[in-house]
Structure 1
Amino acid sequence: MDALLEAALEQLARVGFDRFSIPEVAALAGANKTSVYRRWPTKADLIKDALRTAMDHAEEAAGSGSLRTDLIGLGQTLAEFLRSNAGRSVMRILLSEGDNAELRAIAISAYGDVARRTAWIAMDTALRRGDLRPTVEPSTVLFTLAGALMHRVWVEKADPGEAYVQGVVDIILNGAAVQGRSQDR
């Protein structure tokens, strides 16, 4: 990733949007601030490009032909993202600065573009293959996975390693209850 974009994500994750400074980003990246302003006239423009570039690798996470494998790949990609400057930046925007409509739109756009290209395509393919019951809402599957990983990273402050991701995916796909046993006791 471009040093300027990485510096922008690092600063956004550290100080948030209000204190984000293009001159400071330029200094972090060892660049001239006027050249940064020529390419990105506003901090919103710079942040939008940085987030989109940081999330481009997520497209490789799905498409194996197996729902379990795709969900594990998506989960591992999301876990990596959540630990990155881009992930911390997106979540900072959404959670602590979510009242700012412009910022929220930037974060959702960057995240949404990747989700539409990967996660939703994997879910649509799984539905067509018959890997998911038609009554299952694909967003519930994806948001359950994402929620478990976010909790692991930000609340528990623990690493969601491969075994954790696989365990969450297996619970999502198989449920937690013993099959054939009534749970209404």
Structure 2
Amino acid sequence: MTPPRPAPAHRRGAAVHRAVLKATTELLATEGLAGTRIAEIAARAGVHETSVYRRWGTRTNLILEALSDRLDTELPLPDTGSTHEDLTTFFTALAGFLTTPTGQSLARLALAAADDEPQSVQLRNQFWTARLDRARILVQRGIDRGDLPPDSNPEFLLEALTGPLHLRIMQRDQPAGHAYVSRLVDLVLAGARSAPPDSHTRSNR
């Protein structure tokens, strides 16, 4: 009987990559940010620590990629035909995610000390920029529908919604359910619709 052929190197590499990301998110969920260390991640994924360091360089880089992968799965982009409903659905899901151990790890990582390695700080900024870029379609659809002024700044509106959620959940330990998020969306959309035209172009300065 012919023995099975070994998997190609790139396929084995992809499997290891997935295993490490999965191990990272599992540890974040059970042990929190402080307990998610490279040694434990490597052991859970069944790989050598050197392989993890060679691919990601630092623990922060690895955690950011794992969280990015998890967020894209946990927070799909709704398309209900209503700008208000799309934003309410998305940010209610985000609020729910932030109450989980993994979400709390993400928030703590976002507020990590400024003396991190420059590469990690840059990657953290890239992480949040990518999250905003991904969600901006929710605002752009509203502009295309005529729900929002054509010169609305999607990034500014998304920041206006994200900031209060982080404050309420992470700093004040208060719930942010569907009703709260819906009122917040009402407030932000009303402000965007009533703002003077030139304020939209000045909102990113």
Query: What TM-score, normalized to structure 2?
Result: 0.67
How many Å apart are 1:39 and its aligned residue?
5.2
Alignment of 1:138-177 (within 5 A): 138-174=154-190
The aligned residue for residue 14 of structure 1 is 33
Task: Give the Cα–Cα distance (whole angstroms) in 1 for the partners of residues 93 and 186 of structure 2.
Answer: 17
Residue 104 (1) aligns with residue 121 (2): yes
Task: Tell me: CA distance 1:134–1:48, structure 2 relative to 1, closer, same or farther (3 Å).
Answer: same
The CA deviation at 1:69 is 0.9
After TM superposition, give the deviation of residue 58 of structure 1 in Å.
5.0
Alpha-carbon shift at residue 61 of structure 1 (Å): 2.7
1:101-144 Cα deviation digits (max 9, x unpaired): 32223333333323322x21111221122111235432232111
| Alpha-carbon shift at residue 166 of structure 1 (Å) | 1.0
2:4 is aligned to: none
CA contact (8 A) 1:8 1:46 kept: no
Matched length: 168
Mark the CA change 1:58 to 1:66 in structure 2 (over 3 Å): closer, same or farther.
Answer: farther
Q: Write the distance in 1 (CA, Å) between the matches of 2:152 and 2:65.
A: 34
Provide the C-alpha distance between the structure 1 equivalents of 2:137 and 2:31, rounded to a whole number of angstroms: 30
Q: Counterparts in 2 of 1:1-185, with a 5 A limit? A: 3-10=22-29, 13-15=32-34, 21-27=37-43, 29=44, 31-34=45-48, 37-38=50-51, 41=54, 42=57, 43-57=59-73, 60-100=76-116, 101-117=118-134, 119-174=135-190
Q: Could you say which structure has the larger radius of gyration?
A: 2
Q: Which amino acid aligns with 2:123?
A: I
TM-score when normalising by structure 1: 0.73
* Contact 1:12–1:89 (Cα < 8 Å) also in 2: no
Change (3 A) 1:158 1:139: same
Worse-matched range after superposition: 4-13 or 149-158? 4-13
Gaps of at least 5 residues in structure 1 are 176-185
Alpha-carbon distance in 2 for matches of 1:111, 1:37: 28
Shift of 1:59: 5.3
Alpha-carbon distance, 1:52 to partner: 2.0
Decide whether aligned partners of structure 1 residues 94 and 124 sit closer, same or farther in structure 2, where only a CA change above 3 A counts: same
Long gaps (5+) in structure 2: 1-17, 192-205
Query: Which whole-Å CA distance do the structure 2 matches of 1:8 and 1:105 have between them?
Result: 24
Alpha-carbon RMSD across the aligned residues, in angstroms, is 2.9
- Higher relative contact order (CA closer than 8 Å, sequence separation 6+): 1
Distance in 2 of aligned mates of 1:62 and 1:99? 37
User: Judging changes above 3 Å, is the alpha-carbon distance between structure 1 residues 44 and 168 closer, same or farther for their aligned structure 2 residues?
Assistant: closer
Q: Name the CA distance, whole Å, in 2 between partners of 1:153 and 1:114.
A: 19
Aligned counterparts of 1:45 and 1:62: Cα–Cα separation in 2: 29
- Tell me, in whole angstroms, the C-alpha distance in 2 between the residues paired with 1:11 and 1:173: 37
